[in-house]
């Protein structure tokens, strides 16, 4: 057996003992995960500084605090979530035989799960799905991204220190290691990453008929119409496109703006960008993960004219949000997810045309629409299919655990956060108990 096969077998044997099905065990492991995060906050900030130059306040806001809150939520709600749910038994059942019928849905863990995570939020996106996996009673193999080496090494060290490997372990490595993992049979695969790799993961999972959650990406529009509060729209756009240097799956990918307010909006963006990043922008600003990605994003500049931003630092691979005018749907920058701070700008003259432009593309992971017009708000929600999003705001749907987070169509399948995380990583077993009089 290869080391990966041995590891999976150990987890399978441990799962078979039934230990993870005990609620006391799950709660203890969740509490331990919380301790891991709280006791190692500084170390996490340090590795994210080394890997991505992430400012500590961004680490707290997006990587550590939401995870701690999610664990608290799970601990408070686990008894309710894990309890068998009684459902009505219709009279139809009696046609098949006399007796008293009692019907239940019992949430049971899948077994040995694999979580493959990306590099942009190495802790948030590695740990968050695992909160659901542990709460539901599974064992976990985590494969973090090889692009954020310091984060990956710290995750490996901490998980080994806090957890038994037959229950929860980290496997580090490159694509070859991912392929070796994906060749094995898992009981569930949770993948967060790009659309092309999502296809590879699903193809590998299909060989074993392993169910998957695919949290993918895509081109998420940011719409601004004539009724929008332009100041607030500009603040939200800059926040969404500069946070983690635009390397966020739900970042606005492109701006779709009514031509009547375009010039005014660009002027506001320019003012705000200068005020925010005028002198020495680089110190407290995330960098692009690698030179290859930096050059890929910078290369998009030739697809249009820079009308706002435009500050690039070739030495540190940093870039401030840069707005491109003169772009069309045929431009290279509009073909794939940008995943960086370059923002192409497209226009429309009728709101319906804006929606038609979006629905002609793959279904986006996120959509943001700035409009005070109630009819337009209703139209965009009724006519456009997207994973999740916000009206007159950006990102906030991600941070509400009462909302399922996930994509649709090319942006992914399945969802998590809050109760959904528990159900996503559980099989709902349907049972009828007949009491024969």
Which residues are catalytically annotated?
215, 249
Q: Quote the least distance from Cβ 46 to ligand NAD, whole Å.
A: 21
Q: Which lies closer to ligand NAD via its Cβ, residue 11 or residue 120?
A: 120
Q: Evaluate whether 133 touches 159 at the Cβ level (below 8 Å).
A: no
User: What residue is closest to ligand NAD based on CB?
Assistant: 217
Q: Quote the least distance from Cβ 79 to ligand NAD, whole Å.
A: 28
Q: Which residues bind ligand NAD (CB under 6 A)?
A: 116-120, 125, 143, 145-146, 175, 178-179, 192-194, 197, 200, 215-217, 249, 337, 339, 365, 407, 412
Q: Which lies closer to ligand NAD via its Cβ, residue 48 or residue 273?
A: 48
Q: Quote the least distance from Cβ 120 to ligand NAD, whole Å.
A: 5
Q: Quote the least distance from Cβ 239 to ligand NAD, whole Å.
A: 17
Query: 429 pairs with which residues across the strands?
Result: 106
Q: Which lies closer to ligand NAD via its Cβ, residue 118 or residue 304?
A: 118
Distance of CA 392 to the CA centre of its chain: 21
How far apart, in whole angstroms, are the C-alpha atoms of residue 102 and residue 265? 61
Q: Quote the least distance from Cβ 398 to ligand NAD, whole Å.
A: 8
Q: Which lies closer to ligand NAD via its Cβ, residue 30 or residue 62?
A: 62
How far apart, in whole angstroms, are the C-alpha atoms of residue 191 and residue 412? 10
Q: Which lies closer to ligand NAD via its Cβ, residue 89 or residue 194?
A: 194
CA atoms within 13 A on the CB side of 156: 13
Q: Which lies closer to ligand NAD via its Cβ, residue 26 or residue 420?
A: 420
How far apart, in whole angstroms, are the C-alpha atoms of residue 406 and residue 94? 40
Q: Which lies closer to ligand NAD via its Cβ, residue 204 or residue 228?
A: 204
- Name the token pair of 163: 């957890």
Q: Quote the least distance from Cβ 278 to ligand NAD, whole Å.
A: 30
């Amino acid at each position: 057996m290869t080391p990966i096969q041995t590891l999976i077998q150990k987890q399978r044997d441990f799962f078979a003992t039934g230990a993870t099905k005990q609620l006391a065990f799950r709660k203890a492991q969740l509490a331990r995960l919380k301790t891991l995060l709280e006791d190692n906050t500084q170390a996490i900030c340090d590795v994210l500084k080394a890997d991505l130059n992430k400012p500590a306040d961004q680490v707290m806001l997006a990587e550590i605090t939401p995870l701690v809150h999610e664990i608290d939520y799970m601990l408070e709600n686990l008894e309710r979530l894990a309890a068998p749910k009684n459902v009505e038994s219709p009279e139809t059942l009696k046609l098949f035989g006399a007796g008293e019928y009692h019907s239940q849905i019992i949430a049971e863990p899948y077994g040995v799960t694999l979580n493959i995570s990306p590099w942009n939020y190495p802790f948030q996106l590695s740990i968050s799905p695992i909160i659901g996996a542990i709460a539901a009673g599974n064992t976990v193999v985590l494969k973090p991204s090889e692009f954020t080496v310091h984060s990956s090494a710290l995750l490996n060290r901490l998980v080994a220190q806090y957890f038994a490997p037959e229950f929860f372990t980290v496997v580090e490595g490159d694509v070859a290691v991912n392929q070796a993992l994906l060749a094995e049979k898992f009981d569930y695969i949770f993948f967060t990453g790009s659309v092309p790799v999502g296809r590879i993961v699903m193809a590998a999972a299909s060989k074993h008929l392993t169910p998957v959650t695919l949290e993918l990406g895509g081109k998420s529009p940011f719409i601004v119409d004539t009724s929008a509060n332009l100041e607030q729209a500009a603040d939200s756009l800059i926040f969404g496109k500069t946070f983690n240097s635009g390397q966020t799956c739900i970042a606005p990918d492109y701006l779709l703006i009514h031509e009547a307010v375009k010039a005014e909006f660009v002027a506001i963006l320019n003012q705000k960008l200068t005020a925010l990043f005028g002198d020495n922008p680089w110190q407290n600003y995330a960098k692009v993960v690698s030179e290859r990605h930096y050059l890929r994003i910078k290369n998009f500049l030739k697809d249009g004219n820079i009308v706002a931003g435009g500050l690039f630092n070739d030495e540190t691979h940093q870039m401030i949000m840069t707005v491109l005018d003169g772009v069309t749907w045929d431009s290279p920058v509009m073909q794939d997810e940008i995943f960086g701070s370059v923002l192409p700008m497209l226009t429309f003259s009728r709101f319906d045309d804006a929606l038609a432009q979006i629905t002609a593309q793959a279904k986006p992971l996120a959509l943001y629409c700035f409009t005070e017009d109630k009819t337009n708000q209703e139209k965009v929600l009724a006519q456009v299919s997207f994973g999740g999003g916000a009206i007159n705001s950006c990102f906030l749907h991600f941070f509400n655990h009462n909302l399922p987070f996930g994509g649709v169509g090319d942006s992914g399948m399945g969802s998590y956060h809050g109760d959904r995380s528990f159900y996503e990583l559980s099989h709902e077993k349907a049972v009828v108990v007949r009491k024969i009089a």
